[in-house]
Amino acid sequence: MTFLQRELKKMTDMSQLCSMVTFVGDVGYVRISEEIRLRLEFLRSVLSTYSGISMTMINRKEGVIDKNNLEFQEVLGIKSVSNPYFEDGVCPQIWKDANKIDWYVYKPIESDYQKIAEMVDCYISMFQEEGLSRGPRMNL
């Protein structure tokens, strides 16, 4: 597995609604229903950085249904680090430098991956068919 695949897998493994992810390159696909798939990939902000997750719902017959970008800073906030060059903290991001790719300065902890997984689940729940949700639903 590539670094990006491993990082997506950490997030989807904590998800309540991503039962199985199929990777094609650095893109993960999750079956939501018979006709709907979720496409997950890291959101490239500039040539060498990834600042979040891009989530795209696709109908197998009709194409893209919806697209949503989830920025790490929106979900995780600014993170404190011990590096003196980042006294005010750092926005979580993945950085690619030549052939090396890794988290830049701040490395997410388990609770960070869990927060991202919860946001992915929230997005998925908007497209699930009735009766497929694992948890209770609120009736408004």
Give the Cα separation of 19 and 31 in Å (integer).
8
pTM beyond cutoff 0.85: yes
The token pair at 91 is: 């926005």
- What pLDDT digit, counting tens, does each position of 57-76 carry? 999 999 999 999 999 999 99
Q: Hey, is 102 helix, strand or coil?
A: strand
Could you state, in order of their start, the residue ranges of all structural domains in the chain? 3-125
Angle between helices 110-125 and 3-13 (to 10 degrees): 70
d(CA 91, CA 52): 10
What's the pLDDT tens digit per position in 84-137?
999 999 999 999 988 899 999 999 999 999 999 999 999 999 998 765 444 444
Locate 109 and state its tokens: 């902890």
